[in-house]
Structure 1
């Protein structure tokens, strides 16, 4: 009895230890990610100092991180930063927002209807491999302003990842769930909203996150050719003016904006899908 009574208070300890272990692993994960970025910057600085020249690749003309940091500080103190970033954000929000609505709607239609898939997928699959650069001349001819053409190119870049993610999410829904809901008297609308959408949500969120990255890629390509403001235009203008540190600053801004927007989408998806958190935590 004494042995049992002394063991009883120790029962909550493993739970606390497990929580502490998860917290330690989380901190270790963030430290490892930060260390990898620092290592990349140090290697970049080292290759610029040497400079590294292997014949097929050279760092002789690549600005070191110190010069890039000076250029970034100069841009952040300039009013041009707001103009470039706000222009790019507006184009991405418009093009991506339209692509999200169209991609999810078409994906649900194709995923739930075999006839719709047979009619819509052949032209969509034909258009999907066309790169954003190939759309630029046609977009300039189709739209009255360069602003609309850039939004269109962003739309096309984001549409197909969202569409395919939605289709795969809908097709992965367990048919037994649909059959059970139908046997309980649920109509098509209730099945779509209460069964299909929650089950397909992880695939949809994945497509939305991938589509955000491709929308930034396509926008920057369009801004290099047709823009007057924007991160892509700033990067290309820096190259034509031979301001090489500014090129890297533009590239880093593109990466930060794309990474940040994708992270916000994944965070929103995790908040909207609490039933999917366990799978995310294991990854």
Structure 2
């Protein structure tokens, strides 16, 4: 039976894909709805600030969107790129280090029991430690602040990549049907690893990479407390120290925007490595 929007689940990606192909205006309607959601969000925020809402949550001192927009305009009319570039370089370098180590160690831990016994207990002990708690050790361990900031952003990205990789490898190895099929076809351990474990683990690794990128940006403000001069996170922290509130929110939104864009790029890049999932991604667009 042919797969159509009428004989599959209404909320499934395949149903949405079929509906979009049948009516291209649905995609435009979704974009309009998302823009309206953003407009509603900022409108409610402006209203709460304008009325001085104070019921459990106090908006009397929270800068309104108009004040944040003014601070953003001032930021971009000055010299914004030195701050954006500094933050980007720290996050991307930390993310590259974290993702490389996380994938390698995750595969080793998931594939070899000896590595799991030796590496996983100390890593699990370190995993719950928040990024801000690493600042004193980063100052002591690294020769300059730049290295310490890269280290803190890498800490944020490392553990999601590691845990997702371990879980992906272990879940693939637990699928005895795939392993037995490979063995019946004469596959040796290396072939099983290359043709079964790696592709089977890719969805989990991709999720970890996407979450890790978001966490690296999440740790940026903590990392750039050490900066002293440049960075979006540093501007956010400095504005808090000087009680200049609009740039705080501007920095938060800018970090959120760059983090969302980076996570989207990682998601698309990893999706290209899994062509068998392209249909689902197109359907959920």
Give the TM-score of the pair, scaled to structure 1. Answer: 0.88
Alignment-derived partner of residue 185 in structure 2 = 184
Please state how far the C-alpha of 1:64 moved relative to its aligned partner.
Answer: 1.3
Tell me, which stretches of 5 or more residues in structure 2 are unaligned? 1-5, 7-16
For 2:26 and 2:202, the matched residues in 1 are separated by 28
User: Residues of 1 paired with 2:21 and 2:283: CA distance?
Assistant: 16
Give the whole-Å Cα distance in 2 for the aligned partners of 1:280 and 1:240.
Answer: 43
Assess, with a 3 A threshold, how the Cα gap between structure 1 residues 189 and 148 changes in structure 2: closer, same or farther: same
Higher helix proportion, which one? 1
Greater relative contact order structure (CA < 8 Å, 6+ sep): 2
2:104 aligned residue? 105
- Report the equivalent of 2:27: 26
Map 1:70-89; keep pairs closer than 5 Å: 70-79=70-79, 81-89=80-88
Alpha-carbon offset, residue 282 of structure 1: 5.9
State how far apart, in whole Å, the 2-side matches of 1:196 and 1:62 are: 50
Could you say which residue in structure 2 is the equivalent of 1:69?
69
Q: For residues 208 and 22 of structure 1, do their structure 2 counterparts lie closer, same or farther at Cα, with a shift above 3 Å needed? A: farther
CA RMSD for the aligned pairs? Answer: 2.3
Say if 1:22 and 1:221 are closer, same or farther in 2 by CA, change over 3 A. farther
Structure-to-structure mapping, 1:119-130, within 5 angstroms = 119-130=118-129
Deviations 1:130-169 (A, max 9, x none): 0001111011101111111111111111111001111111
How far is 1:30 from its partner? Answer: 2.3
Q: Take 2:18 and 2:178, find their aligned partners in 1: how far apart are those partners?
A: 38
Q: Does 1:135 align with 2:144?
A: no
Q: Quote the Cα distance in structure 1 between the aligned partners of 2:133 and 2:278.
A: 40
Q: Identify the residue that residue 148 of structure 1 maps to in structure 2.
A: 147
Match for residue 94 of structure 2? 95
For the residue of structure 2 that corresponds to 1:172, the secondary structure is helix
Q: CA deviation at 1:37?
A: 1.1
| Local SS of the residue matching 1:185 | coil
1:192 CA drift (Å) = 2.1
State whether residues 19 and 26 of structure 2, in contact with CA within 8 Å, keep that contact through their aligned partners in structure 1. no
Cα deviation for residue 279 of structure 1 reads: 4.0
Structure-1 separation of matches of 2:23 and 2:161: 33
Residue 280 of structure 1 and its aligned partner are, at CA, apart by 3.8
Unmatched runs of 5 consecutive residues or more in structure 1: 1-13
Query: For each residue in 1:54-86, what CA deviation from the matched residue of structure 2 results, as whole angstroms up to 9, or x when unmatched?
Result: 2x421121221112112111211221x111111
Aligned residue runs from structure 1 range 149-228, under 5 A = 149-173=148-172, 174-228=175-229
| Counterpart position of 1:53 | 54
Which stretch has the larger CA shift, 22-31 or 117-126? 22-31
Rounded to whole Å, the distance in 1 between the matches of 2:258 and 2:18 is 38
Check 1:169–1:25 CA distance in 2 against 1; reply closer, same or farther (3 A cut). farther
In the alignment, the residues of structure 2 paired with residue 281 and residue 84 of structure 1 have an alpha-carbon distance, to the nearest angstrom, of 35
CA distance in 1, matches of 2:213, 2:20: 34
What count of residue pairs does the alignment treat as equivalent?
Answer: 269
Query: 1:82/1:200 Cα in 2 relative to 1: closer, same or farther (>3 Å)?
Result: same
- Are the aligned partners of 2:153 and 2:219 in contact in 1 as well (CA < 8 Å)? yes
